[in-house]
Amino acid sequence: MPVETIENQVEKLLFKLREAGPAGLTKGKLGVKAGKGIAAQALGDLIARRKVANLGTATRTCFVLIEHFNPLERACERIEENALSKQPAREDTIELLTRRDIERGCEGEVRKKVDEAVDWMVKGRRLMRFRRSRTVYFVHAEKLRGAAQAPRPGENSQSAPESPSGAEAADRGTILAAYRRLAQRLGYSNVEIAALRREAGCPMEPLKLFLLEESRRGRAVLSLGDWSVSSEETRGGAVELFGRPHLLVRLDSE
């Protein structure tokens, strides 16, 4: 029987983490047990070489490849999701959110970036911050825009239908089918946005708008990728999210 080496374990861990993509894996799902076993040594080696990092905590781990270690972006995404998903008790009101509301679900390294993420989103006018006495409240900018555009009593609420946005113009079925083919062929759930455009045969700008909308709805995860080694074509598919170019996407294709 061949002797298991640290190098073999390193390759096994890297394979599992590539398959997991941005979702990452716990220490248990990586097959790493507490102690000084060879798997633990391999994981320690990957962490020391900055190939892998823990997005979670010491007790609730979430190991990802370093290209997916983006706690600030994840904090922004989680805050935006929380701020948009909170529904008011009454249709004609705006729900004010507390700090606890908007940071729900942020743990480990992501929680450490909540303050920076809030400041970033406030400066970018994605999140509005209000104060009453010593209490600070938050509202997503889209909630305010929606309230401002709502018809007032006595106004005709019917208007001419708007032309479809780029996100609506992109055919969802075509894009999801292209994503499934591409992911199956490559063996990875994270695919280049530029490659997805080629596979789907659609224009780039509607695709980018579609992916941003899917991300907002929790049906897509955009990842940074490695800009330094990417081709011009790959860079052309970058989707700007929170001020940074994201080259990869993982879609919920069910």
The answer to whether 146 and 101 have CB atoms below 8 angstroms apart is no
Residues ≥6 apart with Cβ < 8 Å to 204: 194, 197, 236, 237
Whole-angstrom distance, CA of residue 22 vs CA of residue 68 = 5
> 160-180: per-residue pLDDT in tens?
444 444 444 567 888 899 998
User: Domain segments of the chain: what residues?
Assistant: 6-68, 71-148, 166-251
* pLDDT for residue 4: 76
Residue 30: is it exposed, middle or buried by C-beta count within 10 angstroms (0-12/13-18/19+)? Answer: buried
Q: Which CATH fold would you assign to the domain 6-68?
A: Arc Repressor Mutant, subunit A (1.10.10)
Residue whose entry in the numeric block shows the structure tokens 């919920």: 252
The answer to whether 207 and 200 have CB atoms below 8 angstroms apart is yes
* Residue whose C-alpha is closest to residue 202's, from 224, 226, 176: 176
CA dihedral defined by 46, 48, 49, 55, rounded to 10 degrees? 70
Architecture of domain 71-148: Orthogonal Bundle (1.10)
> 186-245: per-residue pLDDT in tens?
877 888 999 999 988 888 888 888 888 888 777 888 888 878 778 888 888 888 876 778
Q: Is the pTM of this model over 0.75?
A: no
Q: Which residues pair with 123 in a beta bridge?
A: none
* pLDDT for residue 168: 44
CATH topology identical between 6-68 and 71-148: yes
